[in-house]
Structure 1
Amino acid sequence: MLPRGRPRALGAAALLLLLLLLLGFYLLGPDLDYGRLRGPAVLDGALPWDHNHSACVPLRSLLPKCELLHVAIVCAGYNSSRDVVTLVKSLLFYRRNPLHLHLVTDSVARNILETLFHTWMVPAIRVSFYNADEFQSQVSWIPNTHYSGLYGLLKLVLPSALPSDLARVIVLDTDVTFASDIAELWAFFAHFSDKQMIGLVENQSDWYLGNLWKNHRPWPALGRGFNTGVILLRLDRLRQAGWEQMWKATARGVLLTLSATSLADQDIFNAVLKDHPGLVLLLPCTWNVQLSDHTLAEHCYSEASDLKVIHWNSPKKFRVKNKHVEFFRNLHLTFLEYDGNLLRRELFGCPSQAPPQAEQLQLALAQLDEDAACFEFQQQRLTRTRVHLTFLPFELPPPRRHDVTLVAQLSMDRLQMLEALCSHWPGPMSLALYLTDAEAQQFLRFVEGSPVLSARRNVAYHLVYREGPLYPVNHLRNVALAQALTSHVFLSDIDFMPVYSLYDYLRASLEQLELESRRKVALVVPAFESLHYRLRFPTSKAELLALLDAGTLFTFRYDVWPRGHAPTDYARWREAQAPYPVQWAADYEPYVVLPRDCPRYDARFVGFGWNKVAHIEELDAQEYEFLVLPEAFTIHMPHAPSLDISRFRSSLAYRDCLRALKEEFHQDLSRRYGATALKYLTALQQPRGVL
């Protein structure tokens, strides 16, 4: 019998040996050729994956813990930019590694995504942009009948478009959703043989077999070919092998017999790989489960939980036939509506890679006193919201010397006013909407289901994702104002309906008053209100005056806040035939038409109260002239009070916090404008009413 201590010693030695082996695999893993370790290949070096069970999926732990992973995406236009956001959400949800996104975009997508990532402030993610226009000439000679157009061919030029020192990259279509950590996919680079350069999943439809319909002639491919919605590229090897010359020669040869590509870059990739099968590593099909008509995706996996990437590679998307389509749809909808703010999390165990701005904000937030009376105001002021510009397709208005964009902001509870506003204002609009991710999808369905809204292409909707305790009204206005593209803007609110002729009247007034040479002029649009939800809307000044005299309409807030619009001088307006000047007075907050480059709103004002007043004071401090237009008017329509106005009316602490903001604002105004701003400090001491 062995001494009692001996088995324990042997066990400890075995455990130590096992740990050393694991350490060796960890250190050498990226350089090992797993294809050689696991036996013979079935497709010129490809691994013998079981398409029903991914038994040979590489271990995630073989990657260095904080290795930077590179992902390339080609994206153009408004709708594709929305798809990218959903894809990125799924990537960030599962990822445990830093990511570097390489986005090849047109100008539209770049403007949207650059703003989005800048305001999202996700730690451990870098984003680089590449101008798609610079590479179109390399593929424009290829006829393409696929709906993606030229952009669908740009994946072919990635080896030359991306930085020359970038060796490996995962390339993704915009219509894929991840259900696993992308690091598991990155680990397949370790499986490449010395000659392999491209990792792909087999195409799961019979497209390339050529038997879908009579006279169907697809491009040449190996069997069913490969789907290029998910690609692993060894960029260094492709460059050394002369990839550009290779694919161009192949494409020219095939185009001698076939007039165009039907599936864009996928046709050319497959034609090249038919001639050079040794270049490809066959990936497990669960990394690109292709949901489309004529698909064999159901044969790819035994359980829905096995899948890694869902590819909605059909314009029909949700209408495809698949036994697990409800599961796939729910996963996709989960990320559509997932709160992107929750993805601003540091990577566990990796050095902090938060943007400097985010770190400064976190430090400032941590220093706030949660028990302070104005904590919510201070917190909202430091909160940075995600911004998704032009959430829906938008067509630029034709350039005009004198044109006006209506600028306003709203939340979900004012959505029903959009259709009426569109009927009153035919011109361009720039609207900022304060929504959650889930509400954004409701808004999308609302617009698509509205004959009025879906027909308009000159309305730009900019989403500001909800975060923080108070409504950031002036920040929303600034987002909408910054995106206006016309010479002038009409700064309005969503619950005001302008007279039907106002758009044309404002354009004519800008021309008649020759405001190009008089930059600092604010045109005042007199404001009225109705107390009735149903109103025979006046079509002229004469009709409005009749309703005013009959007690159906009133000057705006005449009973609770007359100071807000009294300087407009409604008595004079009744008789006016030409624009007339008015002077600033305390608490004046008219609705005005200004040059597009006018001063921005002060974003410290959140919730209800004094947000427009501060802006008008800034205009006056900069010596803007106020001119009241004699035929212009806009009418406030009744609605339920907002939460912020209710808090303002009921809470003395709320009003005290607002008063503190006003004092701070006036101090800043005095520092910027000196003695000119003294009158605002004097006005602040005068007694005020309470709304």
Structure 2
Amino acid sequence: MERCSGHVPLGGGPGEDPGHAGETTSLGWPGNASGSPQRSWRKWPGRGKSGHLCLDCCPRDPLIHVACVCAGHNASRDVVTLVKSVLFHRRNPLHFHFITDTVANRILSSLFRSWMVPSVQVSFYDADELKSEVSWIPNKHYSGIYGLMKLTLTKALPPDLNKVIVLDTDITFATDIAELWGIFRKFTDKQVIGLVENQSDWYLGNLWKNHKPWPALGRGFNTGVILLYLERLRRISWEQMWRLTAERELMSMLSTSLADQDIFNAFIKQNPVLVHQLPCFWNVQLSDHTRSEQCYTEVSDLKVIHWNSPKKLRVKNKHVEFFRNLYLTFLEYDGNLLRRELFGCPSQASPESIQLQGALEELDEDDQCYDFRRERLTVHRVHLEFLQYEYTPTEDDVTLVAQLSMDRLQMLEAICKHWEGPISLALYMSDAEAQQFLRYAQASEVLKNRKNVGYHIVYKEGQFYPVNLLRNVALKNANTPYTFLTDVDFLPMYGLYDYLRRSVVHLDMRNSKKALVVPAFETLRYRLSFPKSKAELLSMLDMGTLYTFRYHVWPKGHAPTNYAKWRTATTPYRVEWEPDFEPYVVVRRTCPEYDQRFVGFGWNKVSHIIELDAQEYDLMVLPNAFMIHMPHAPSFDISKFRTSSSYRNCLNTLKDEFHQDLSRKYGAAALKYLTAQRNI
């Protein structure tokens, strides 16, 4: 960015909140000057950057701070839709503050790091550090302890942060969030909290007989959208005041029903001068018992939709179709489009962005392999654990690792029936396809009951299928000591999971470098009576119902497995590496990653096996293991390989470069691979 003499720390002009330095993830937007005071609170690890904006070059738009409490897999999905709606409309730099549990931190930190949205900074704060602040409050609300944590924000957020917009995860914006931020200027000197009136009759106490809500001012206020003037709240000892309020009311109420909202309302009832009532269109609440239709005349007036109903899209409202369409728009919106620079003010890029831009500029556009090289530099958004994942591994545990796109989705149920152990899958999908997958998985009797399957969405970008990137995402996010590296169009034999766990122990893989080969077969029949034993498989092989994998088109890929020896083998046997060998193997999770220069079709597994051999892994064939490839239509990438000579030429160029890199990495020991390649 161009420099100039009149510059100030990021965060806008005087009176605007600076972005704070410290443990943040900076996404194309630096934090404040590096001389920030040391902080005593604990946050999730991340990175901070320093830099300045040029006032003569860019508009003095304030840095807007947004806070969310986000815990678990479902809330992590919901907050992405919220963030998309904010990013779509915004014209200002943003700083998101997420109070998260371990699960949400892992998911969101990975997502934002790979999203690389300009002028967005993200900080994470450990919710476990805040539990003791609110765990003493009995709460009947489904949000549990996390539903009370907005009360702790003056303590959780940095002490030099003056103002923040606090949002529930089930919020959708229909306008620029800067309009909401601007309302802070309308606060009187005494006002510290901005809220929209509650649109249900809950606090009026007339919903059912003996309904006794917490005290509230009139209809009370909804805390799905809050403007918190943190500086003023600290000045009036907010932490002490809300605690005293909660202790007093709990003597008669015994527990909260609506989590933090009950305590906020009881506090406001005692201190009405401290609240600034926001127009109702800043929090249109769509639960079944609301009067939201009475708070606006035209749908076009609406600013924020709050889906505070478990039934989401099935609420009763005369404009429900409009709300549904707005929500679905952002749910399925291509997040890659939100990587655009802010209008009229290019952001100062993060070191990662600068490095990436430099690498892109070094590419030769006249190189016939330009598209391949550019693909390797593409940064894909990654949403880890898209569905709930709960699994505690044992010391000999094995995760099945695979990748797929939408056209292989039908294989998932069959694989889950064949493999009862943990699974790590990378799914290459658009935002809209990810939502189709979610509906499919939630409707499947087989999939919805499996909590030991990690689904990691890698969002589509570029023109090639990034097969090795996908494999690496699935591999790195397995949480067992060992992994079975396979493809999603193979069905493992029944009982393979238990057999592999026994083999891991029997072959002492903890103390040796081995890659256990699972022999691969295939059928040309879409309906197959799956063999229940090795003997049954051999019989089908003899009858021509099954074949050794790729026997007809690519025999060298699996010939070194030595199927003739396997027929009679009763103990594992070692085989030597040969050119183009690409078996499916069980290895430690810490094995070398796949080489991501290989995209689309060709040499993506071959290169990985070469590197295993270069690192002196012993290739051991398991005598009682097998897997069967199920037929399917050819992929788009294999069609390109077969019909495009330039595609094949580029693949050969990438092979040569891979061999050169291998020689630099492993020295003379790697020369055999280059020699073997040239002799083919």
What TM-score, normalized to structure 2?
0.91
- Supply the RMSD in Å over aligned alpha carbons: 1.5
Q: Which residue of 1 aligns with 2:22?
A: none
Q: 2:578 aligns with which of 564, 572, 585?
A: 585
Question: Residues of 2 paired with 1:526 and 1:66: CA distance?
Answer: 61
Shift of 1:642: 0.1
- The residue identity in structure 1 corresponding to 2:90 is R
CA separation of 1:29/1:485 partners in 2, compared to 1, >3 Å: closer, same or farther? closer
Question: Residues of 2 paired with 1:74 and 1:149: CA distance?
Answer: 12
- The residue identity in structure 2 corresponding to 1:450 is S
Determine which structure has more spread, i.e. the larger CA radius of gyration: 1
- Single out whichever of 343-352 and 171-180 deviates more from structure 2: 343-352
- The residue identity in structure 2 corresponding to 1:180 is T
Q: Secondary structure at the match of 2:447?
A: helix
Check conservation: 1:122, 1:344, Cα contact below 8 A: yes
Question: Residues of 2 paired with 1:635 and 1:591: CA distance?
Answer: 11
Q: 2:99 aligns with which of 93, 98, 104?
A: 104
Q: Which residue of 2 aligns with 1:543?
A: 536
- The residue identity in structure 2 corresponding to 1:668 is D
Question: Residues of 2 paired with 1:359 and 1:396: CA distance?
Answer: 38
Q: Secondary structure at the match of 1:544?
A: helix
Question: Residues of 1 paired with 2:351 and 2:197: CA distance?
Answer: 43
Question: Residues of 1 paired with 2:421 and 2:213: CA distance?
Answer: 47
Cα offsets for 1:33-74 (capped at 9, x unmatched): xxxxxxxxxxxxxxxxxxxxxxxxxxxxxx974210100000
Question: Is 1:440 aligned to 2:434, yes or no?
Answer: yes
- The residue identity in structure 2 corresponding to 1:137 is S
Q: Secondary structure at the match of 1:433?
A: strand
Question: Residues of 1 paired with 2:554 and 2:624: CA distance?
Answer: 24
Check conservation: 2:79, 2:170, Cα contact below 8 A: yes
- The residue identity in structure 2 corresponding to 1:143 is P
Question: Residues of 1 paired with 2:450 and 2:16: CA distance?
Answer: 53
Check conservation: 1:121, 1:354, Cα contact below 8 A: no
Cα offsets for 1:109-149 (capped at 9, x unmatched): 00000000000000000000000000000100000010100
Question: Residues of 2 paired with 1:369 and 1:466: CA distance?
Answer: 24
- The residue identity in structure 1 corresponding to 2:345 is C
Shift of 1:217: 0.5
Question: Is 1:461 aligned to 2:455, yes or no?
Answer: yes
Residues paired across the two proteins, number: 629
Shift of 1:359: 3.2
Cα offsets for 1:300-338 (capped at 9, x unmatched): 111111100000011111111100011001000000000
Q: Which residue of 2 aligns with 1:506?
A: 500
Q: Which residue of 2 aligns with 1:385?
A: 380
Structure 1 residues not aligned, in runs of 5+: 1-25, 32-62
Q: Which residue of 1 aligns with 2:123?
A: 128
Question: Residues of 2 paired with 1:348 and 1:113: CA distance?
Answer: 26
Pairing 1:102-251 to 2, within 5 Å after superposition: 102-251=97-246
- Single out whichever of 442-451 and 355-364 deviates more from structure 2: 355-364
Q: Which residue of 1 aligns with 2:646?
A: 653
Shift of 1:266: 0.4
Question: Residues of 1 paired with 2:107 and 2:167: CA distance?
Answer: 19
Q: 2:516 aligns with which of 520, 523, 548?
A: 523
Q: Secondary structure at the match of 1:609?
A: coil
Q: 1:481 aligns with which of 475, 482, 489?
A: 475
Q: Which residue of 1 aligns with 2:32?
A: none
Q: Secondary structure at the match of 1:685?
A: helix
Question: Residues of 2 paired with 1:30 and 1:526: CA distance?
Answer: 64
Question: Residues of 2 paired with 1:117 and 1:304: CA distance?
Answer: 32
- The residue identity in structure 2 corresponding to 1:405 is T
Shift of 1:388: 0.2
Q: Secondary structure at the match of 2:509?
A: coil
- The residue identity in structure 2 corresponding to 1:681 is L
Question: Residues of 2 paired with 1:350 and 1:80: CA distance?
Answer: 32
- The residue identity in structure 1 corresponding to 2:522 is E
Question: Residues of 2 paired with 1:119 and 1:188: CA distance?
Answer: 33
Q: Secondary structure at the match of 1:505?
A: helix
Q: Secondary structure at the match of 1:66?
A: coil
Q: Secondary structure at the match of 2:67?
A: strand
Q: Which residue of 2 aligns with 1:256?
A: 251
Question: Residues of 2 paired with 1:242 and 1:527: CA distance?
Answer: 68
Check conservation: 2:16, 2:63, Cα contact below 8 A: no
Question: Is 1:595 aligned to 2:591, yes or no?
Answer: no
Shift of 1:362: 3.1
Q: Which residue of 2 aligns with 1:38?
A: none
CA separation of 1:28/1:531 partners in 2, compared to 1, >3 Å: closer, same or farther? closer
Q: Which residue of 1 aligns with 2:395?
A: 401
Q: Which residue of 1 aligns with 2:269?
A: 274
Shift of 1:356: 2.6
Question: Is 1:568 aligned to 2:561, yes or no?
Answer: yes
Shift of 1:355: 2.6
Question: Residues of 2 paired with 1:64 and 1:649: CA distance?
Answer: 53
Check conservation: 1:121, 1:355, Cα contact below 8 A: no
Check conservation: 2:13, 2:62, Cα contact below 8 A: no
Cα offsets for 1:429-452 (capped at 9, x unmatched): 000000000000000011011111
CA separation of 1:484/1:309 partners in 2, compared to 1, >3 Å: closer, same or farther? same
Check conservation: 2:369, 2:650, Cα contact below 8 A: yes
Shift of 1:29: 10
Check conservation: 1:199, 1:231, Cα contact below 8 A: yes
Question: Residues of 1 paired with 2:455 and 2:344: CA distance?
Answer: 39
Question: Residues of 2 paired with 1:75 and 1:465: CA distance?
Answer: 22
Shift of 1:509: 1.1
Check conservation: 1:122, 1:355, Cα contact below 8 A: no
CA separation of 1:309/1:316 partners in 2, compared to 1, >3 Å: closer, same or farther? same
Check conservation: 2:65, 2:163, Cα contact below 8 A: yes
Q: 1:349 aligns with which of 344, 350, 358?
A: 344
Question: Is 1:419 aligned to 2:398, yes or no?
Answer: no
Question: Is 1:494 aligned to 2:496, yes or no?
Answer: no
Question: Residues of 1 paired with 2:317 and 2:244: CA distance?
Answer: 38
Q: 1:324 aligns with which of 319, 342, 353?
A: 319
- The residue identity in structure 2 corresponding to 1:554 is Y
Q: Which residue of 2 aligns with 1:52?
A: none
Q: Secondary structure at the match of 1:72?
A: strand
CA separation of 1:512/1:157 partners in 2, compared to 1, >3 Å: closer, same or farther? same
Q: Secondary structure at the match of 1:601?
A: coil
Q: Which residue of 2 aligns with 1:312?
A: 307
Q: Which residue of 2 aligns with 1:362?
A: 357
Check conservation: 1:100, 1:126, Cα contact below 8 A: yes
Question: Residues of 2 paired with 1:179 and 1:125: CA distance?
Answer: 19
Shift of 1:514: 2.1
Pairing 1:62-81 to 2, within 5 Å after superposition: 65-81=60-76
Question: Residues of 1 paired with 2:60 and 2:91: CA distance?
Answer: 8
Check conservation: 1:346, 1:353, Cα contact below 8 A: no
- The residue identity in structure 1 corresponding to 2:67 is A
- The residue identity in structure 2 corresponding to 1:348 is F
CA separation of 1:215/1:405 partners in 2, compared to 1, >3 Å: closer, same or farther? same
What TM-score, normalized to structure 1?
0.90
- The residue identity in structure 1 corresponding to 2:496 is L
Q: Which residue of 2 aligns with 1:34?
A: none
Question: Residues of 2 paired with 1:202 and 1:388: CA distance?
Answer: 35
- The residue identity in structure 2 corresponding to 1:631 is N
Q: Secondary structure at the match of 1:593?
A: strand
- The residue identity in structure 2 corresponding to 1:343 is L
- The residue identity in structure 2 corresponding to 1:641 is P
Question: Residues of 1 paired with 2:351 and 2:338: CA distance?
Answer: 17
Q: Secondary structure at the match of 1:453?
A: coil
Question: Residues of 2 paired with 1:173 and 1:263: CA distance?
Answer: 13
Question: Residues of 1 paired with 2:490 and 2:13: CA distance?
Answer: 66
